[in-house]
Amino acid sequence: MIEEILTNLYKIDIPLPKNPLRSLNSYLIKGSERNLIIDTGMDEKECLNAMKIGLRKLEVDLKETDFFITHFHLDHLGLVSKLTTEESILYFNQPDAEGIDIIKTSLFGDGMIHFTRMNGFPEDELQNIFSYHPAYPFQLDKLLPFKIMEDGDMISIGDYQFQCVKTPGHTKGHVCLYESNKKILISGDHILNDITLTIQLRSNEWNPLKEYLASLDKVYPLEIELVLPGHKDIFRNCKERIQELKHHHRKRGDEIFCAIENGSENAYQVASRISWDISYDSWDLFPVIQKWFAIGEVIAHLKYLEEEGMIRKEKKSGKIVYSLNASS
């Protein structure tokens, strides 16, 4: 499905097979000399067919088209190597470009496995986790020559002047595009209207929830009349939605805080004791991959609470456990 949002700005609906998000919003800006596609979908035939149909209807020549990828998750990046030509510019961010290289190494996989094991994930479920993970088989068809964009850099396409706004949290390098004259924010996965994508932690080297909340505060003052998100519906109430997202994470933090008030718990134990918006009667019935995503979110919140001084972390019997600080 193709929707013209504004003059020369279109949304192409890209299906995401076997993905609960169901589809990606890929945006196309048509210019007099070059076009720009923002996010592409996964490297799946359904995604490629939908993209080709959309581009054909809009009479877009890929040799005259550049690409901007908001972040490195494969529902946004995966198809891009099937679409770029020798003439294409591929705009991306440095942290996520480095992340793609790391993903391809077994060292990163081993590091994630060890980190998750230390946080209480059962060994029998952990051994086969990557066979369930949708990103595991992903590899780019070719080496992509990224043009690295920094915070504040501009991309001009036709009548649109987009400014890069770095919004780390969902990934280390996530970038939105802001058009100040038309008051448009192309938000990727940073701000969605009716769903809350998880903020997850898979190593101990950063604090994604802290950065995500700071990124929400960074976007809040911008004059935005229209938000074009990576998934689901386009919306207008950006400031209200930011407040809702911050409330969601405060509520989740409170729930996690309560889960450890009676003693030391590891992240897997905490995840099993809090509420999840998923249609299973108990934690034991959750699919392994859903437990993997859940524990990643819980660890991100625990890291945030620890650095805020509300809880403390220690090792017991080879596992990382968390408990309340005496002052809390």
Q: What would the pLDDT profile of 286-299 be if each residue is shown by its tens digit? A: 999 899 999 999 99
Alpha carbons 306 and 207: distance in angstroms, whole number: 10
For 258, list phi and psi in degrees, rounded to 5: -65, -30
Q: What is the pLDDT averaged over residues 36-56?
A: 96
Q: Which domains does the chain have, with CATH numbers?
A: 2-104+139-236 (3.60.15.10), 106-134+247-324 (no CATH)
User: What pLDDT, on a 0 to 100 scale, did the predictor assign at position 108?
Assistant: 47
Nearest to 313 by CA among 305, 296, 283, 160: 305
* Residue 102 burial by Cβ neighbours in a 10 Å radius (0-12, 13-18, 19+): exposed
Bridge partners (DSSP) of residue 15 are: 23
**143 confidence band (pLDDT: 50, 70, 90):** low
User: What pLDDT, on a 0 to 100 scale, did the predictor assign at position 198?
Assistant: 87
**100 confidence band (pLDDT: 50, 70, 90):** confident
Residue 9 has pLDDT above 90, yes or no: yes
For 137, list phi and psi in degrees, rounded to 5: -80, 0
**91 confidence band (pLDDT: 50, 70, 90):** very high
User: What pLDDT, on a 0 to 100 scale, did the predictor assign at position 134?
Assistant: 59
Alpha carbons 66 and 87: distance in angstroms, whole number: 8
For residue 298 the two structure tokens come to: 């819980």
What is the residue whose two structure tokens read 């309560």? 258
pLDDT mean across residues, the chain: 91
Residue 137 has pLDDT above 80, yes or no: no
Return the axis-axis angle of helices 238-259 and 208-219, rounded to nearest 10°: 160
Residue 106 has pLDDT above 50, yes or no: no
For 146, list phi and psi in degrees, rounded to 5: -70, 140
